[in-house]
Amino acid sequence: MADKLAAAKKAGFANVELFDNDWYAFRDAYAKEHSLPASTDGDDTSLKAARALTELAHEHGLEFSCFQPVRDFEGFVSAEDRAAAHAYAEGVLALLPTFGIDLVLCCSTTVPAPKTTGDLATVVADLAWLADRAAAVNPPVRVMYEALSFAAHRSQWQDVWEVIAAADRPNLGICLDSFNFLAREWADPYQEDGKLSSKVDDHIDASLAELVATVPGDKIYLYQVADGRRMVPAMTPPEDPSIPRIRPWSRGHRLFPCEYDQGAYLPVDKFSDAVVKTGYKGTWSLEVFNDSLSDPSPEVPIEHAQRGYVGLVKAMKESYERCTVARA
């Protein structure tokens, strides 16, 4: 974790998202190193580990922008599963003041029916509960709901916005992710041309116009930017029916913005411009999964951090320039 934080700072970042798997690895290693009991978030061991990780981040001149994700949280059918999901979320929320974090991401569940349901009333109740519990944290926490491209029930921005609007909580907003939108609505790594159809550009243009007209910029709590690699030859779909079709590409072949030399081909510029046109003035962040991150070489953190910073700055600059020209 120290190497990742040092790389982020050296590359130019001022803050980083705290990813759950990184946190769990740090927490469990801390417990083992200090001969502490195995930990569950919210207990004494986790709070001690959270203080240590926060101090480590501060030593590198970094803050945490958010914790992410609270995953597979909403829509459970049984009372037992819902109670377990609530306990898990309570544990995460208990740590956020120690991290200095006031923003948490909840991504739409990947747990399929019959264990979960996409029923609007059920999901609204779950997100409203999470937002209310987050508001009670000291200091209060905002919750953002994100549509995963391979979610079980809510995989489009309209699906999660419907929940946010119905829950009607002042601290509940949306997280927009260029990859999750374009992977679901535009791309198909299993086709030779990498696209869902010849009409897909018109489709996303309409969806993005709807986004600009529907979602106020101040209800977007974070914009995550990533591209995807054009697969040549096309990928072979997973044979296991339990694996969502898009997940192998999502987990192994995302790229940083503007990495056209690496095979980036998604129309991220269109999505970014739509986000800017909503009036969003918040943080632009990166969420990139790629098989290259599993390389144990010590150069991997700094190489990826530098690539990410260059691409993110370029994507931001070009989007604001395009939108400024369009308004002139």
Put the strands of the sheet holding 284-286 in their side by side order. 15-19, 63-70, 103-107, 142-146, 172-177, 220-225, 284-286
One domain, residues 230 and 286:
yes
Which residues 6+ apart lie within 8 Å of 317 measured at CB?
A: none
pLDDT in tens, 175-207: 999 999 999 999 999 999 999 999 999 999 999
pLDDT in tens, 257-275: 999 999 999 999 999 999 9
pTM: 0.95
Q: Which residues of 230-244 are buried (b: 16+ CB within 10 A; e: fewer)?
A: bbeeebeeeeeeeeb
One domain, residues 115 and 158:
yes
pLDDT of residue 325 exceeding 90? no
pLDDT in tens, 214-229: 999 999 999 999 999 9
pLDDT-derived band at 294, boundaries 50, 70, 90: confident
One domain, residues 5 and 51:
yes
In a domain, residue 127? The reply is: yes
In a domain, residue 176? The reply is: no
One domain, residues 232 and 200:
yes
As a whole-number percent, the residues of the chain with pLDDT over 90 amount to 96
Range of the domain at 214: 184-328
One domain, residues 133 and 2:
yes
